[in-house]
């Protein structure tokens, strides 16, 4: 199998998961597509150097994370949303899954990039602390502090409504 064939097989098998992770990091479909595209270009360039092709997904996750954080730092894109896509006010029916997801989504989008990345990698991608640290290019202790600070901000954002949402105990319990 040629390098191109190996890479095409990898992209076909993992692009959906990579796009989901990118979307959770940047909060915009078009930006997530750009982020995945940039990541795949970097991965293809590094493909010959990847000794274990099984690590290609970890390499991509790290590239997604570092590139997204870099974009936030450079402010090469705007995080503002037009008023047509702003979420509506909270409804009294807390059983509405869409509304609940929107509240959590809004909270996630308000987090600083590194906190958001840590939470996305730990709880949406279900990585261990060590894997998350590797993807973020930092120490395990940094992952722990970023996750802790991010969860505290999510609790603050959700307020008393956190108890009404189907969230992991780590977000709801204070």
For the chain, the domain total comes to 2
pLDDT of residue 1: 80
In terms of residue numbers, what domain contains 39?
1-76
pLDDT of residue 105: 79
Indicate whether this model's pTM tops 0.85. no
Tens digits of per-residue pLDDT, 139-167? Answer: 999 999 999 999 888 888 877 666 655 55
Q: Which residue has the tokens 């991509």?
A: 60
In a domain, 86, yes or no: no
Query: Around 63, how many Cα atoms within 13 Å sit in the side-chain half-sphere?
Result: 22
For residues 67 and 103, membership in a common domain is answered with no
Tens digits of per-residue pLDDT, 68-79? Answer: 888 877 765 554
CATH for 148: 1.10.10.10
For residues 13 and 52, membership in a common domain is answered with yes
What CA–CA distances, in Å, run from 122 to 10, 19, 80, 87?
23, 16, 26, 26
pLDDT of residue 25: 86
């Amino acid at each position: 199998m040629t390098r191109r064939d190996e890479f095409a097989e990898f992209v076909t098998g993992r692009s959906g998961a990579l796009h989901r992770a990118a979307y959770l990091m940047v909060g915009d479909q078009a930006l997530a597509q750009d982020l995945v595209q940039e990541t795949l270009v970097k991965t293809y360039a590094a493909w010959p150097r990847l000794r274990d092709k099984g690590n290609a997904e970890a390499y991509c996750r790290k590239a997604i994370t570092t590139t997204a954080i870099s974009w936030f730092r450079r402010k090469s894109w705007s995080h503002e949303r037009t008023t047509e896509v702003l979420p509506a006010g909270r409804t009294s029916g807390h059983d509405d899954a869409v509304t609940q997801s929107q509240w959590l989504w809004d909270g996630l989008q308000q987090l600083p990039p590194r906190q958001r990345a840590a939470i996305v990698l730990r709880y949406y991608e279900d990585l261990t602390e060590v894997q998350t640290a590797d993807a973020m290019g930092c120490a395990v202790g940094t992952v722990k502090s970023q996750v802790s600070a991010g969860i505290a901000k999510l609790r603050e954002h959700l307020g008393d409504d956190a108890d009404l949402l189907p969230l992991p105990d780590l977000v709801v319990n204070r």
